[in-house]
């Protein structure tokens, strides 16, 4: 019901924070796609905790083990299943009866009638984004071979703002460097001030959120469909699957509501014989379908719900109000680690859209 995504590539994720393993099944992958495990591990390392001073010191051995669908280094086209074992877990950190505010403890209890695995957030753990990152890493070369690249950066942390992508003539070379920085910012000079936002939150036993902006370059015109299968619908359904995402906007997004039509309408022009737009307030999408301009969107990531600061809550067993302070190893800000998750989520959707587009790539007859 809940854990299968995609029209052409069916992605099925499973696992709990403290189960034997978490993992993913990818069905409908193109056959013959080479899988470079080093590249996959590099992507997964971006998400893994303990990579730098901004994230929890908890180390996870996140090496995925591929149990099917790969033969002689290439995808077979039949379902590829990858497992990521759960090893470094400390169950004693959790008291299931105390509902952690802004976590899924209460909603999971209601949804699954008390049978869900509550240890470490169970199936709702942010750890479940690792299979997404794996899937994105597998599909990244498939997009690359078609000239499509996906970039993301931290657009803001708290009230601190980074520069924004150029959505008309993106500086792809520069954007490729973003992920090598200590924090994924366009403007390197802002790293200290962004770092300070995180450090302050940490010192206060608190947490902070931010906005991630993404850009997809090399997208052909004519991808996607009207209404329920619009590119916006497809991407947003996937992006809102990522825990902590509370907003998604395309192009100028909410800002477009403060423009006049004469400003917001991206005028068409010809550039070396190709139809382009002079601005890109619509984020590369008109009527749910790509228009050949770079695709741009932003997502709002809420502050990490786990904080050491005391919070009021309810004990679900005793039905009394209590105070909770969540100790243990938690990121004061998950935005830096979420950057590659957003890239992966977008990669999965774009790969699915590209495969689906083959079904409408040609008309039944030629137009005169």
Task: State which of positions 120-159 bind a second copy (CB under 8 A).
Answer: 122-124, 128, 142, 145, 156-159
Beta strand 210-217 with 149-157 is antiparallel
Residue 93 DSSP class: G
Any contact of residue 259 with a second copy (CB under 8 A)? yes
Any contact of residue 180 with a second copy (CB under 8 A)? no
In the bound state with a second copy, the residue whose beta carbon lies nearer, of 328 and 360, is 360
Any contact of residue 296 with a second copy (CB under 8 A)? no
Tokens 């209590």 correspond to 322
Any contact of residue 7 with a second copy (CB under 8 A)? yes
The site that binds a second copy (CB under 8 A) totals a number of residues, namely 166
Any contact of residue 342 with a second copy (CB under 8 A)? no
Any contact of residue 193 with a second copy (CB under 8 A)? no
How far apart are CB 173 and a second copy at their closest, in Å?
Answer: 26
Instruction: Report the C-alpha gap between 154 and 182 in whole angstroms.
Output: 12
208: CB partners within 8 A, 6+ apart: 157, 158, 197, 198, 200, 201, 303, 304, 332, 333, 335
How far apart are CB 176 and a second copy at their closest, in Å?
Answer: 22
Any contact of residue 218 with a second copy (CB under 8 A)? no
214: CB partners within 8 A, 6+ apart: 150, 151, 152, 296, 297, 298, 299, 342, 343, 346
- Mask of contacts with a second copy, 305-334, x by CB under 8 A? xxx-x-xxxx-x--xxx-------------
SS3 letters for 159-196? CEECCCCCCCCCCHHHHCCHHHCCCCCCCHHHHHHHHH
Closest CA to 196 of 234, 157, 228: 157
Any contact of residue 55 with a second copy (CB under 8 A)? no
Q: Which span (56-64, 167-175, 183-191, 263-271) binds a second copy, by CB under 8 A?
A: 263-271
Any contact of residue 196 with a second copy (CB under 8 A)? no
Which two structure tokens, joined as six digits, stand for 21?
């393993």
Of the candidate residues 41, 190, 247, 329, the single one contacting a second copy (CB under 8 A) = 247
Beta bridge partners of 298: 213, 249
Any contact of residue 195 with a second copy (CB under 8 A)? no
DSSP helix/strand/coil, 224: strand
Of the candidate residues 36, 37, 90, 112, the single one contacting a second copy (CB under 8 A) = 112
Q: Which span (51-59, 173-181, 233-241, 336-344) binds a second copy, by CB under 8 A?
A: 233-241
Of the candidate residues 22, 178, 185, 346, the single one contacting a second copy (CB under 8 A) = 22
Span 66-105, contacts to a second copy by CB under 8 A: 66-71, 74-81, 83, 99, 101-104
DSSP helix/strand/coil, 327: coil
């Amino acid at each position: 019901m809940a854990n299968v995504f995609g029209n052409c590539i069916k992605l099925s994720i499973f696992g709990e924070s403290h189960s034997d393993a978490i993992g993913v099944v990818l069905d409908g992958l193109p056959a013959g796609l080479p899988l470079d495990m080093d590249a996959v591990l590099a992507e997964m390392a971006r998400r893994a905790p303990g990579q730098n001073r901004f994230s929890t010191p908890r180390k996870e051995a996140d090496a995925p083990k591929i149990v099917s669908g790969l033969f002689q280094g290439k995808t077979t086209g039949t379902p590829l299943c990858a497992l990521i074992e759960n090893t470094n877990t400390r169950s004693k950190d959790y008291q299931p009866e105390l509902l952690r505010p802004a976590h899924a403890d209460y909603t999971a209890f209601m949804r699954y009638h008390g049978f869900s695995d509550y240890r470490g957030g169970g199936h709702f753990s942010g750890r479940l984004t690792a299979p997404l990152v794996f899937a994105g890493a597998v599909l990244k070369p498939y997009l690359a071979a078609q000239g499509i690249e996906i970039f993301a950066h931290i657009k803001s942390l708290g009230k601190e703002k980074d520069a924004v992508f150029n959505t008309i003539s993106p500086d792809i070379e520069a954007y490729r460097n973003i992920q090598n920085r200590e924090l994924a910012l366009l403007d390197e000079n802002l790293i200290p001030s962004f770092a300070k936002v995180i450090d302050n939150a940490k010192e206060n036993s608190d947490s902070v959120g931010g906005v991630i902006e993404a850009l997809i370059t090399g997208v052909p015109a004519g991808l996607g469909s009207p209404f329920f299968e619009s590119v916006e619908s497809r991407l947003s359904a996937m992006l809102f699957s990522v825990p902590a995402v509370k907003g998604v906007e395309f192009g100028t997004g909410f800002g477009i509501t403060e423009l006049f039509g004469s400003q917001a309408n991206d005028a068409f022009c010809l550039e070396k014989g190709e139809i382009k737009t002079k601005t890109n307030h619509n984020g590369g999408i008109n009527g749910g379908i790509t228009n050949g301009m770079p695709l741009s969107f932003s997502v709002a990531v809420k502050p990490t719900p786990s904080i050491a600061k005391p919070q009021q809550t309810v004990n679900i067993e005793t039905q009394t109000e209590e105070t909770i302070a969540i100790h243990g190893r938690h990121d004061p800000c998950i935005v830096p680690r979420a950057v590659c998750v957003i890239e992966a989520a977008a990669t999965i959707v774009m790969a699915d859209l590209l495969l689906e587009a083959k079904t409408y790539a040609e008309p039944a007859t030629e137009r005169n």
